[in-house]
Structures are given as C-alpha cells and as structure tokens.
C-alpha cells in the first residue's frame, strides 16, 4: 500500500521535509488536501475486465446484418459500444424479441442483443441513459434470426472493457480501450495542457484560438471553439465533417464548443457532442478550472486520459513545490485583508462581482497569506449578490474596507474615480492592483505575483537575492 509519506515524496519532493516544522505541517496539509480532492477526480486508469489492453473494436456486425442466415447459430465475439435501447437510432429497426432488447455497435454497424440473455455483465449500465452510451463491451453469443428475418445475438458472456474511464463535466462517462493516438483539442486551455503533458505529437486538430507552443508546425485549425455573444451562425463553431475527416480516436472540447450543422448532424442540432456520438468518435467535454487545486487535478485527469500520467505527476510535483515555497514565505507574515474582484462580467463598462470565500479562486488569497474580506457568511453572500442588481455599488467595499484590492482583468471597468472609493483603505494607500487572466498553466505565476502584492517585503527579498 502506498503510504502518505511515499506520496508526499513523489508529489512534493523530499526537499520539503528539510523545511521548519511549520513548513512540514503545511506540506502535509496541502498534499492531503490535494489527494482528497483527487479521490473524486474524473479520470481513472483501470484494468480491463474480461479483455486485454490490445483488443480493438470488432468489425463484424455489418456482415451479420447483411448476411444473417450465414451467421445463424454461430458463436460470435463483438467488441463495441453499449447503446442501450438504441438511444442513437443506429440499429435501423425495432427490437426483435422483447421491448427490452438493447443494442451494441462496433466499427461496422449496430445490432440488437436479446434482453432474455439477462443483464449479467452489464453492471449498473442504464439502457435509458445516454451517459452510459460510451461504455465498451466485449460480448460473446449466438446469432439468431427472427421470423421477420432480423438478426440478433443471444449473449453468453458480457464484460465491460476499460483501460481508461473518464467522466466529463457534463456527467457523461467514456471508457477507452487504448491510449488515444489521434486527438482533436477544442479550447485553448485544454490544448495548452496537452502540449505541456507531452501529447502534442498525438494532436491532429485544434481550434482557431489555441496557441501552439510545441516544436514544428501546428495541426490543422478547425474553427472557433465558441460563438460570439448570442449569435449562432453558419460561420461560427467547429464543423463536424472536418473533425470526422481527421479520423480522431478522441475529441476533448470546451463545454461551450458549437458545431455547424452538416451532413452528419440533423439541421436542428448544433451540438458537437451529439454529432460526434453519431459518428462513433469518443468525446469529453470540460469546464474551465480555476485555482491551484483545480489546475493540479486537471493535469492528473488529462494525463491519465491521454496516457501521460508520468508527465502529469512531474508537472504536479513542480507546481506543488512552488506552492509550498509561497506558503513558507508568508507563514510568519501578518494576514492581509483582500478583496479579489472580477474586472469584467457585469456588462461593459460595469465590473463583475468580488470573489466570495467559498469560490475556488479565493484559494489564491489564502495561499498567498491573505484573508478574503467577503466570507461565506450569509451576510457577506448577500453583499456579493447585490452586485448582480447594481454592479456599480460601492457600499460592500466601504463596509468590508479591504487593505488590498486585486482586480482580474481590466481596471478601467472598476471606474476608480467614482466618489466613495476614497473611503476604502486599499484606495487610500494605493494598493489596488490588476492581475492578468490566468490559466491552469500560469496559475502559480499568478499566486507568486499575488503573494508579492500582498507582502511587498517579499519583492524586496527577491531583488536582494538576485543581486547576490
């Protein structure tokens, strides 16, 4: 069994244990918190159940459907996707034996499996849930033909095949038989992480906004990853035909991604997820993550998904060491009362609301040696809620009177020349600062910047160290 000490040696580095006692305690608490957060993370590398890691999806179903009597009475093996009660309308006909017959789809086509075979081997898979439609099964059974000439399979054994199991941010779970070799990445944050994990050679397509920091030419660009405003037009989004033509074995997309209607997608559906399902391409949808903990969890989950767990662990270890360095540098300094404010989101030219203590972004304040003045108390939550009705109100800032105000984004939307700001301590002392937009890859840069802004003495120490 892996011990906590062994995990900490791996993730934090043995150097952390040369720190003072308080530093060691902080290291322990931080790492335990990360591990606790990752227990429910959305990617797990799992052993195959009833199969082997090299086994591919079969290509036999179309032949059975086309020549049912040639296969009648034969024992066949099908490795394919569980489709429940023909949830994607791929079988082309109704159930042949009972209303509860379900469908399996391999690379060539879809066929019904008689519900009379029982559910042994299906576990908790729900035939009515599209969330389970990505499960991969290995089915062994006998081919039969109904009185109407429709082939179906009586299952003798069923096993769920899984190398990597991943539950995305829409609640869908996909199970991969092998590490993906051809990945389409839609969304600049995801693309950046995949490149940092060393998976760039397996990326065959990206969106128009993603930057490409890897050596060599970027892969083909496929379109904008999300629409502009509320207008959805044919010039926006990712074209599914173009994605399918790249023959990816995995698409990782931002939840806001849209697809143009094409020959593979009904005209009333602009959902990339649905189009990829119909094309038989596994896909996962992710929300943006904020904060240090969210970033580290995303590194680990994407690393497991694309077969780069070792690189993900290296990245997490490096980030953990930097985080612990910040914690130790501020542990003996006075806590600073901080308001972290979104300089956007209220609709131009209005600012967004401050970040409440129970939001993931607030973690940055605590790690940098600050205290969020907008706590999770009902009174403070009500103050934050006021900004949705009146984004220009200053009363909460005057009431909480932070020593430092940190603005994410554009300071101009805060309109600091408005009467009333002069009553706030941070404004009086010139301690209103902007911090740039952050991504999971830059969140430690932001944390270090916040620590220096809250504790200017740290910046002076950095300068002195640089002169030595």
- Whether residues 112 and 178 fall in one domain: no
Portion of the chain with pLDDT greater than 90, in percent: 45
CATH value at residue 90: 2.40.50.200
Q: Judge whether 320 lies within some domain.
A: no
Q: Judge whether 47 lies within some domain.
A: no
Q: For residue 342, give its domain range.
A: 333-467
Under the phi-then-psi rule, with left for phi > 0, alpha for psi from -120 to 50, and beta for the rest, what region is 322? alpha
Q: Judge whether 103 lies within some domain.
A: yes
- Whether residues 436 and 352 fall in one domain: yes
**Of 195, 161, 157, which is closest to residue 175 (Cα–Cα)?**
161
pLDDT in tens, 118-128: 677 888 788 99
Which position has the token pair 């003798």? Answer: 156
Percent of the chain as helix, strand, coil, to the nearest 5? 35, 20, 45
Domain edge (last residue) among 108, 134, 162: 162
Q: Judge whether 298 lies within some domain.
A: no
Rounded CA gap, 269 and 240, in Å? 11
Count Cβ atoms below 10 Å from residue 436 Cβ, excluding itself.
Answer: 11
More confident residue, 210 or 93: 93
pLDDT in tens, 305-348: 998 999 999 999 999 999 999 999 999 999 999 999 987 654 55
Rounded CA gap, 240 and 194, in Å? 21
Phi, psi of 53 (to 5 degrees): -65, -20
Q: Which residues pair with 340 in a beta bridge?
A: 406
Q: Judge whether 185 lies within some domain.
A: yes
Rounded CA gap, 272 and 246, in Å? 15
The reported pTM is 0.70
Burial of 397 (0-12, 13-18, 19+ CB in 10 A): buried
- Whether residues 337 and 364 fall in one domain: yes
- Whether residues 343 and 459 fall in one domain: yes
Residue pair 26/324 in contact (Cβ under 8 Å)? The answer is yes
CATH value at residue 200: 3.40.50.1980
Portion of the chain with pLDDT greater than 70, in percent: 77
- Whether residues 199 and 275 fall in one domain: yes
More confident residue, 230 or 424: 424
- Whether residues 143 and 207 fall in one domain: no
- Whether residues 447 and 393 fall in one domain: yes
What DSSP string runs through 219-250? PPB-B-SS-STT---TTSSEEHHHHHHT--SE
Q: Judge whether 147 lies within some domain.
A: yes
- Whether residues 457 and 367 fall in one domain: yes
pLDDT in tens, 28-63: 444 444 444 443 356 554 333 333 344 688 999 999
Phi, psi of 396 (to 5 degrees): -60, -40
- Whether residues 260 and 152 fall in one domain: no
- Whether residues 178 and 130 fall in one domain: no
Q: Judge whether 134 lies within some domain.
A: yes
Which position has the token pair 């985080």? Answer: 323
C-alpha distances (whole Å) from 399 to each of 97, 361, 383, 394, 425 are 70, 22, 10, 9, 11
Most confident of 2-6, 17-21, 231-235, 296-300: 296-300
Give the model's confidence band at 428: pLDDT under 50 very low, under 70 low, under 90 confident, else very high. very high
HSE-up of 418 (CA within 13 Å, CB side)? 17
| Count of domains observed in the chain | 3
Rounded CA gap, 24 and 7, in Å? 14
pLDDT at 229 over 50: no
pLDDT in tens, 374-390: 998 999 888 888 887 88
Residue pair 264/272 in contact (Cβ under 8 Å)? The answer is no
pLDDT in tens, 135-178: 889 999 999 999 999 999 999 999 988 778 888 887 888 888 77
Domain edge (last residue) among 110, 141, 162: 162
Q: For residue 387, what are its two tokens?
A: 């900004």
Q: Judge whether 42 lies within some domain.
A: no
Helix (H) or strand (E) holding 56: none
Give the model's confidence band at 285: pLDDT under 50 very low, under 70 low, under 90 confident, else very high. confident
- Whether residues 350 and 451 fall in one domain: yes
Domain edge (last residue) among 104, 130, 162: 162
């Amino acid at each position: 069994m892996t011990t906590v000490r062994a995990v900490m040696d791996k993730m934090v580095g043995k150097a952390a244990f040369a720190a003072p006692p308080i530093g060691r305690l902080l290291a322990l608490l931080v790492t335990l918190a990360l591990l606790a957060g990752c227990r429910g993370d959305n990617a797990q590398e799992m052993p195959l159940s009833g199969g082997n890691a090299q086994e591919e999806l079969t290509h036999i179903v179309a032949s059975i459907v086309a020549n049912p009597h040639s296969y009648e009475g034969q024992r066949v093996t099908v490795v394919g996707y569980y489709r429940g009660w023909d949830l994607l309308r791929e079988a082309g006909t109704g159930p042949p034996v009972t209303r509860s017959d379900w469908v399996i789809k391999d690379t060539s086509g879809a066929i019904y499996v008689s519900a009379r075979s029982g559910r042994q081997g299906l576990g908790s898979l729900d035939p009515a849930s599209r969330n389970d439609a990505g499960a991969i099964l290995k089915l062994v059974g006998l081919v039969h033909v109904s009185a109407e000439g429709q082939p179906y399979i009586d299952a003798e054994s069923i096993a769920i095949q899984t190398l990597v199991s991943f539950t995305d941010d829409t609640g869908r779970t996909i199970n991969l038989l092998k590490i993906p070799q051809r990945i389409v990445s839609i969304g600049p944050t995801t693309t950046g992480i995949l490149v940092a994990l060393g998976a760039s050679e397996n990326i065959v397509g990206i969106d128009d906004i993603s930057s490409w920091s890897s050596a060599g030419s970027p892969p083909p660009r496929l379109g904008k990853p999300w629409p502009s405003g509320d207008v959805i037009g044919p010039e926006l989004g990712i074209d599914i035909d173009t994605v399918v033509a790249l023959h990816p074995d995995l698409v990782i997309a931002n939840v806001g991604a849209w697809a143009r209607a094409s020959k593979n997608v009904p005209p009333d559906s602009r959902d990339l997820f649905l189009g990829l399902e119909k094309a038989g391409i596994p896909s996962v949808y992710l929300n943006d993550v904020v904060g240090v903990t969210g970033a580290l969890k995303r590194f680990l989950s994407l690393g497991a998904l694309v077969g780069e767990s070792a690189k993900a662990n290296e990245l997490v270890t490096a980030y953990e060491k930097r985080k612990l360095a910040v914690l130790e540098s501020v542990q003996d300094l006075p806590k600073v009362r901080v308001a972290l404010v979104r300089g956007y989101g209220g609709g131009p030219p209005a600012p967004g609301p401050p970040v409440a203590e129970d939001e993931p972004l607030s973690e940055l304040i605590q790690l940098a040696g600050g205290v969020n003045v907008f706590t999770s108390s009902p009174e403070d939550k009500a103050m934050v809620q006021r900004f949705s009705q009146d984004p220009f109100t200053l009363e909460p800032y005057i009431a909480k009177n932070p020593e430092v105000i940190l603005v994410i984004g554009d300071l101009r939307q805060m309109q600091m020349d408005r009467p009333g700001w002069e009553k706030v301590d941070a404004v009086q002392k010139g301690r209103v600062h902007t911090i740039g937009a952050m991504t999971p890859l830059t969140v430690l840069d932001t944390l270090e910047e916040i620590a220096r802004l809250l504790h200017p003495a740290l910046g002076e120490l950095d300068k002195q160290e640089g002169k030595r």
